Amino acid sequence: MRLDKALEQISEIHKHLATSQVFRGYRAVPSELSGILALAAAWVQPAVVRSGDSRLYVLYWTLVAVAAFLICGGSVAYGYFRETDPLVRQRTATVVGQLAPSLAVGAVVTAVFVAAEEGRLIPFLPGIWALLYGLGLFASRLFLPKMIGWVALFYFLCGCVLLRGAVGHDPASLSPWEVGVPFGVGHILGALILYWNLERKRRDE
């Protein structure tokens, strides 16, 4: 019985260690590249997406999101498979698992809104995307530098403003900057925080 109790205590200690240390899997450079990609995509969109084609607008930004996910997610996956410490790998799985539900809900909502009659709900998507991403960051904040909470708040505020502006919005007049600015600026701010709080300190050490 004492051995079982000791093993349970060790297991609890491991869980505590896994949740009390800052996650270092997110890197500044991939986050910055994703932000630059979002801003560049906003600038390029008028040349790629025909005015008034709301469904092509969604497809375009979905592809941009996939590219950004591969940039950031690829960096996390690379670090995960190279890592030999099981506690660090557990922490990586925990942080990714906290962000994943928001991304999944975003994908489902996007599919439903695109299927709606005449794309009338599509103008609400940029705001919903920003809110959901902010929610994912907020859920992960305990494992990230504290200032990430301000980035999550930035996404929340952008989402609220965009949703308010989407009321009565014509699906034929979707601005590329409604997605480019929140995600471009948000990712670049996140990159600065990651560098300043984690990578810079590690170099100094």
Q: What is the pLDDT of residues 132-165, one digit of tens each?
A: 999 999 988 878 888 999 999 999 999 999 999 8
- Report the distance separating Cα 80 and Cα 90, nearest Å: 9
| pLDDT for 18 | 46
- Report the distance separating Cα 202 and Cα 205, nearest Å: 5
Which comes out higher in pLDDT, residue 47 or 83? 47
pTM metric for this prediction: 0.83
| pLDDT for 178 | 95
State both tokens at 51. Answer: 């005015």
| pLDDT for 16 | 53
State both tokens at 30. Answer: 């991939």
Q: How confident is the model at residue 24 (pLDDT cuts 50, 70, 90)?
A: confident
- Report the distance separating Cα 79 and Cα 92, nearest Å: 9
| pLDDT for 135 | 94
| pLDDT for 143 | 82
pLDDT above 80: residue 6: no
Q: How far is CA 75 from CA 17, 137, 155, 165, 190, in A?
A: 23, 17, 23, 35, 15
Q: How confident is the model at residue 19 (pLDDT cuts 50, 70, 90)?
A: very low
Q: How confident is the model at residue 7 (pLDDT cuts 50, 70, 90)?
A: low
CA angle 81, 85, 88 (to 5 degrees): 80
pLDDT above 60: residue 199: yes
Return the CA Rg of the chain.
19
